[in-house]
Amino acid sequence: MPAEARPTAVVTGGARGIGLAISEALIADGFRVVAVDVNPKAVAAATEHPQAANGALVPIELSIIDRSAVEAELARLASDLGPVAALVNNAGMTLPSTFLDQTDDDWDRIVDVNLKGTFVMSQVAARQMVGSGGGAIVNIGSVSAHGVRTGPPAYAAAKAGVEGLSRLMAVQLGPHGIRVNTVVVGTTATPWLLGKKSEQQLDEMRASTLTGRLGDPEDVAGVVAFLCSPAARHVTGQIVSVSGGQWIA
């Protein structure tokens, strides 16, 4: 499909890891994807992606918690490319800590990116979708919200908040033709994970799944692409676990 005929999808954290796999899957389904990322190196690398040359992938450096910047950038994109038809809130971050040593500053940073960022991006994009007759939003959650993995309490709380926010969004945005779903992601073999964990740790993670393997970014991307597609036109307010059975919804 020519790039100029494509509807616009926005993927946060879309220039690397799971986000890039989602971007590629949506492009394959006919979207032009604006890959929003706060990491300048990832954005620069994405500009060299084969799909960037024909305009199907548009990498943009943007902080999802900077409301004024988000509003300005999405308004510019709507003017240049058309209103957002699909939004995937994939961007997230965490910091190492436990319940007994989590600091307030780290709590604020983690909750801001994972929960507030999802709210800001969704609200700004949904206002465009209301004006254009509807759209699809997919929020990326985590098995950490369900006690499957240990880690910082702020991350677990923020991802649990994403699930509650998603349900509320589905209820309030449904009358406007906007579908909202959540994909709960388990341990996924991203370059970041593979570079940080030992083979023993990876084996322990594999053993925690019912499939005996880590997820691939493409496993998540395929489900997200379905939820953004017309094939999922009657699916909203749902939580879908893509975790190899680490958490069964």
Percentage with pLDDT > 90 across the chain: 90
CATH class of 3-190+217-242: alpha beta
Known catalytic residue at 155: yes
Buried b (16+ CB within 10 A) or exposed e, 148-171: bbebbbbbbbbbbbbbebbbebbe
pLDDT of residue 189: 87
Q: In the prediction, which pLDDT does 191 show?
A: 86
- Domain borders along the chain are 3-190+217-242
Q: pLDDT value at position 28?
A: 97
Residue 196 has pLDDT above 90, yes or no: no
**pLDDT at 3 (0 to 100):** 53
Q: What is the mean pLDDT of the chain?
A: 95
- pLDDT at position 126 is 98
Predicted pLDDT of residue 15: 97
Residue 149 has pLDDT above 90, yes or no: no
Q: What's the pLDDT at 192?
A: 81
Q: In angstroms, rounded to a whole number, what is the distance separating the alpha carbons of residues 111 and 155?
A: 7
From 31, 107, 119, 155, active-site residue: 155
State yes or no: pLDDT of 2 exceeds 60: no
Q: What is the pLDDT of residues 9-61, one digit of tens each?
A: 999 999 999 999 999 999 999 999 999 999 999 999 999 999 999 999 999 99
* DSSP states along 157-210: HHHHHHHHHHHHHHHHHGGGTEEEEEEEE--B--HHHHHHS-HHHHHHHHHTSS
User: Distance (Å, rounded) from C-alpha 154 to C-alpha 72?
Assistant: 29
Is the pLDDT score of 113 beyond 70? yes
Q: Over range 149-162, report the average pLDDT.
A: 93
Please, which residues bridge with residue 58 across strands? 34
Instruction: Grade residue 194 by pLDDT with cuts at 50, 70 and 90.
Output: confident
- Segment 67-88 shows an average pLDDT of 97
- Whole-number pLDDT of residue 4: 61
